[in-house]
Amino acid sequence: MSNKQRSITVTGQGSAQAVPDHFNISIGIESSQPTVREAYAQAGAAVNAVTAVLLAKGVEQGSISATSLDVRVDTRWQDGVGTIVTGYTVSNTLAVPLSYGKDAEDVIAAVVDTGNNNVRLNGLSPVVSDSSAAQDAAREAAWADALRAAELYARLAGRTLGEVAGVVEVNPTMGGPRPMMARAAMAMDSASMPIAQGQSEIQAAVEATWLLV
């Protein structure tokens, strides 16, 4: 019997918690006008207004980045004519990193309070700058999960586990396709908009092969 026939391969998955040290906010800016030039000009004015507010609140210019720019043709159907162009929509998205605390709440409130109907807050994404410790803990949990499954299958087969023949780290599948599932939350009341730091879940998965004896 070959080693391949006398082996067992299983996949283990694990996770660990990490506390985000900052978060990114996504600011959406959209303008619809009869011409591309007008839509672009209005969107540009909104971007400048938001940028001015961010700079006034102490956000560094270099940390403000544009993550998308899109120009869409707006159309409608007219009987007897067909599809006609009614205007153009220019969309832009800004990403801004912020630290947790009252200052971040003030920045977000100021952005929302620009008075510009073309500006909206798309949401926030918690970020763990150094996830190495949590990643290692997730790997240990994944290994324990794989070992537990391998021992069970070996016992059911009337065998015991021998030496490890191979280990491969694979993409985690638990909880969705993303390796990090953010669980920070925003709580709102009439007086403030506190942002809870929460925790992020770091996931790992391993495929391991043991020889059977």
- Residues 105, 184 share a domain: no
Which pLDDT tens digit goes with each residue over 99-113?
988 788 889 989 988
Domain boundary residue among 127, 142, 169?
127
Instruction: pLDDT band for 175, please (50, 70, 90 cuts).
Output: very low
* 45, 74: one domain: yes
Reply yes or no on whether the pLDDT at 182 is more than 60.
Answer: no
Distance between CA atoms of 17 and 15, rounded to whole angstroms? Answer: 7
**Res 194 pLDDT > 60:** yes
Same domain for 193 and 146, yes or no, is: yes
151 and 207, same domain (yes or no): yes
- What's the pLDDT score for residue 174? 52
Would residue 43 count as lying in a domain? yes
- Pick the more confident residue, 146 or 81: 146
Work out the pLDDT band at 181, boundaries 50, 70, 90.
Answer: very low
Three-state SS letters, the chain: CCCCCCEEEEEEEEEEEECCCEEEEEEEEEEEECCHHHHHHHHHHHHHHHHHHHHHCCCCHHHCEEEEEEEEEEEEEECCCEEEEEEEEEEEEEEEEEECCHHHHHHHHHHHCCCCCCEEEEEEEEECCCCHHHHHHHHHHHHHHHHHHHHHHHHHCCCCEEEEEEEEEECCCCCCCCCEEECCEECCCCCCCCEECCCEEEEEEEEEEEEEC
Whether 148 and 200 map to the same domain: the answer is: yes
Quick one: pLDDT band at residue 97, thresholds 50, 70, 90?
A: very high
Residue 31 confidence class, pLDDT cut points 50, 70, 90: very high
- pLDDT at site 59: 93
Task: Provide the percentage of residues in the chain whose pLDDT is more than 90.
Answer: 68
Question: Which pLDDT does position 192 carry in this prediction?
Answer: 53
Question: In terms of domains, do 29 and 119 share one?
Answer: yes
Domain count, the chain: 2
Give a yes or no: residue 1 inside a domain.
Answer: no
Task: Examine residue 46 and state whether it is found in any structural domain, yes or no.
Answer: yes
Q: Where a domain ends, among 77, 104, 127? A: 127
Is pLDDT above 90 for 64? yes
118 & 134 share domain: no
- Does residue 2 lie in a domain region? no
Range of the domain at 91: 22-127
- Mean pLDDT across the stretch 74-93? 93
Note whether residue 49 is domain-resident: yes
Same domain, 36 and 100: yes
pLDDT of 185 over the 80 cut: no
Mean pLDDT in the chain? 86
Q: Which of 127, 145, 176 is the last residue of a domain?
A: 127
Statement to judge: residues 117 and 134 lie in one domain:
no
Which CATH number covers residue 51?
A: 3.30.70.2970
CATH code for position 151 = 3.30.110.170
Whether the per-residue pLDDT at 71 is higher than 80: the answer is: yes
